[in-house]
Amino acid sequence: MSRGPIIAIDGPAGAGKSTVARHLAQRFGLLNLESGAMYRAFALKAILNDQDFDDSAALEHLARDTTIWLEPARTGNRVSLDGTDVTERIRDSDVTQGASRVSVHPAIRAWMVDLQRAMGSRGSLVMEGRDIGTVVFPDADVKVFLDASPEARSQRRYEQAAAATPAVAFDHEAVSRELRERDERDRNRPSSPLRPAADAIVIDSTAMSLDEVLSRIEELVRPLCAEAQVP
């Protein structure tokens, strides 16, 4: 193998992609290349410049003057936007909503794909998103499409939000509605719609524990990491 393995984890919001990618990165010494964090960083750039999320031409112009970089750290990637660490800010709700809106524009997706491919050119990485195995790295060594029922995914999202900020009262129905709306955008966008790659291994985690999901995916990844002599 001339480069380290590339592991693609795709799937809808709330399926557990980020958790799986973080685990694989730590377990096998891979770079965790977070596509979602990159779109969030660009959404923040649009917010800071008071830019309309729906104005494709203006966003494309904004992208030309934008630098995004991910720096691996012990607790997860640090995210840099134009030289400023925005790791914490991009997790705020306004950025989360903006990320799904800027990501529908073909020009922005094409720009991101080029950036992601450049960052992952040496391999030895795991990347999660919605079009990693179909568009960004169609030659990935392992492609997983991680799915779950809408009910299971919305419940997980609700529990994550409640655990992260226990002082805030979250509306379960609002969380569920937001997830359904995100699914609709992701599956029906004209550029790179959410779908499994033809050669992806589909894992439905609805009735699986996290440990079961991680164990199943580790089985797929371990032989490639050993072949490439990844720790």
Over the stretch 180-222, which tens digit does the pLDDT of each residue have?
888 888 888 877 788 999 999 999 999 999 999 999 999 999 9
> Residue 231 falls within a domain, yes or no?
no
Residues 146 and 68 in one domain: no
Strands 68-71 and 78-81 come out as antiparallel
Amino acid occupying residue 218? E
3-state SS, 200-219, equals CEEEECCCCCHHHHHHHHHH
Q: Give the tokens for residue 64.
A: 């030309």
Q: Where are the beta strands (DSSP E) in 148-196?
A: none
User: Are 108 and 137 in the same domain?
Assistant: no
* 106 and 132 co-located in one domain: no
Q: What are phi and psi of 115, to 5 degrees?
A: -65, -45
Whether pLDDT at 55 is above 70 = yes
Q: What is the pLDDT of residue 44?
A: 98
CB of 95 within 8 A of CB of 42? no
7 three-class SS:
strand
Q: 95 and 146 share a domain?
A: no
pLDDT at 169 over 70: no
Q: How far apart are CA 38 and CA 220, in angstroms?
A: 26
CATH code: domain of residue 146: 3.40.50.300
Task: Report whether 49 contacts 150 (CB < 8 A).
Answer: no
Confidence of residue 175 (pLDDT cuts 50, 70, 90): confident
- Count of domains for the chain: 2
Domain residues for the domain of 207 are: 1-30+125-225
What is the pTM assigned to this prediction? 0.77
Q: Do 129 and 192 belong to one domain?
A: yes
For the cut 60, the answer to whether the pLDDT of residue 117 exceeds it is yes
Tokens coding 17:
């992609």
- Given a cut of 90, is residue 143 above it in pLDDT? yes
Q: Are residues 63 and 16 both part of a single domain? A: no
Find the helix packing angle between 106-119 and 56-63, rounded to 10°. 20
Beta carbons within 8 Å of 54's beta carbon, 6+ residues apart = 101
Same domain, yes or no, for 83 and 133? Answer: no
Tell how strand 31-34 and strand 201-204 pair up.
unpaired
